[in-house]
Amino acid sequence: MNQTQAVKAMTSRQRVLAALKREPVDRTPVVNPTSVATVELMDLVDAPFPHANRDPAAMARLAATSYTELGFDSVMPVFSIIQESSALGCKMQWEQKDNWPTVRMSEPIWKDADDIRVPNDFLDHPDIVCVLDAIRLLRKELGDDAAIIGKTMGPWSLGYHCFGVEPFLLMSLDDPGRTKLCLDRMKEATIQFGRAQIDAGVDALTLPDHATGDLVSGEYY
């Protein structure tokens, strides 16, 4: 008898948590740690963008479709990559139903490491609170049925948003030490938001950071 056959039936959440711990599972879990948001799903549960990025009930409804409609073992309510940047003071472009909200990186808010400030009320910003409340709603609704995955953006991505892509990349070339200082200061937002999501009920976190090959050399990565 193989290991899979020996394991009793699991809920989706149990299956995902066991896999993350490298424990036996009843079957391979199917997880999407990013977004499943489509216009069709928005229509199905009346949770269109940009509303579903700013209202916790709509955010939870749309996220739940990952489990209820698509059959994934997980849900992930943080559809975009802008919550932290919005809370830090970046200017936003919320777009419409068929597009993702974006940061207006052509209008940066910082120029140097000394400008970096994570506000004392960072976790009280409406766009942060929206995510945390959506997580609580999903945990209440799904219980032990499905895993909830959160998302907190890494400091390199925050650098693009807050300094602008070109200025931040040029800084990384001209002054690596200053860039590292910026990353060290910005990671406080990453950590605060991640911990708050854990407290709200997520089972795991995705931590994206856009140090991608089209922008950053292998050496800098």
The pLDDT of residue 218 is 75
Q: How many CB atoms lie within 10 A of CB 188?
A: 14
The pLDDT of residue 87 is 98
Q: Which helix (H) or strand (E) segment is 158 a member of?
A: helix 155-163
User: What burial class does residue 95 get, using C-beta atoms within 10 Å of its C-beta: 0-12 exposed, 13-18 middle, 19+ buried?
Assistant: middle
Phi-psi region of 80 (alpha: psi -120 to 50; beta: other; left: phi over 0): beta
Cα–Cα distance, 215 to 42 (Å, whole number): 32
Q: What does pLDDT average to in each consecutive run of 10 residues of the chain (221 residues)?
A: 70 98 97 94 98 98 98 97 97 93 96 97 98 99 97 97 96 95 98 98 95 74 66
The pLDDT of residue 118 is 98
The single residue listed with the structure tokens 């690596």 is 176
Query: What are the structure tokens assigned to 26, written together?
Result: 């009843």
Q: Which domains does the chain have, with CATH numbers?
A: 31-206 (3.20.20.210)
The pLDDT of residue 28 is 97
The pLDDT of residue 1 is 38
pTM higher than the cut 0.95: no
Please work out, in degrees rounded to the nearest 5, the angle formed at the alpha carbon of residue 92 by the alpha carbons of 99 and 122: 120
